[in-house]
Amino acid sequence: MFGRRDGDKKRMRLWTHMTTTARQRLFDDCYGTKHIQLQILATHPTYQRKGAGKALCNWGIEMARRRGMAICVFASPMGRNLYDCLGFRNKAHVRIWVDGESESILLAAMIYEPVTLMVSGKRGLIPRN
């Protein structure tokens, strides 16, 4: 019998290293302390496609909006559509691939910027990049 592949220590170390490095480059350097990271969102199969994930994200979006903060997430291929529908935009892709393995996972590094993060420009409010 095989163990869980997603719990393999080598994979977990690589996941942590790759997402931490990407977060620093894509989000920390750009937003400083004005962002929060959605780390893991999973829905029990019984409640999938019933709005539970969307409700949780909307709660976080409202919290971020009140605090004037952006939300970053590394979306799996399964979760990407949810974040797209909620107004997150793609900044980059992060591929996680363990040496010697044939499979990899491509994560979408996504950002949600509430209107309160808009800064004033000469022609009115413009989204902060």
Pull the structure tokens for residue 12.
């977990």
User: How many other β-carbons are positioned within 10 Å of the β-carbon of residue 108?
Assistant: 20
Predicted confidence at residue 117, as pLDDT, reads 54
Series of mean pLDDT values for 10-residue runs along the chain (129 residues): 65 91 94 90 87 92 91 94 95 92 92 68 43
Query: So where are the chain's domains?
Result: 5-126
Predicted confidence at residue 90, as pLDDT, reads 96
Give residue for tokens 């496609």. Answer: 49
Predicted confidence at residue 11, as pLDDT, reads 85
Predicted confidence at residue 120, as pLDDT, reads 43
Alpha-carbon distance of 52 to 113, in angstroms, equals 22
> Does pTM top 0.85 for this prediction?
no
Pull the structure tokens for residue 46.
């019984």
Predicted confidence at residue 42, as pLDDT, reads 85
Predicted confidence at residue 116, as pLDDT, reads 56
80 contacts: CB under 8 Å, gap ≥ 6: 108, 110
Pull the structure tokens for residue 20.
């931490």
Predicted confidence at residue 48, as pLDDT, reads 86
Question: What class, spelled out in words, does domain 5-126 have in CATH?
Answer: alpha beta
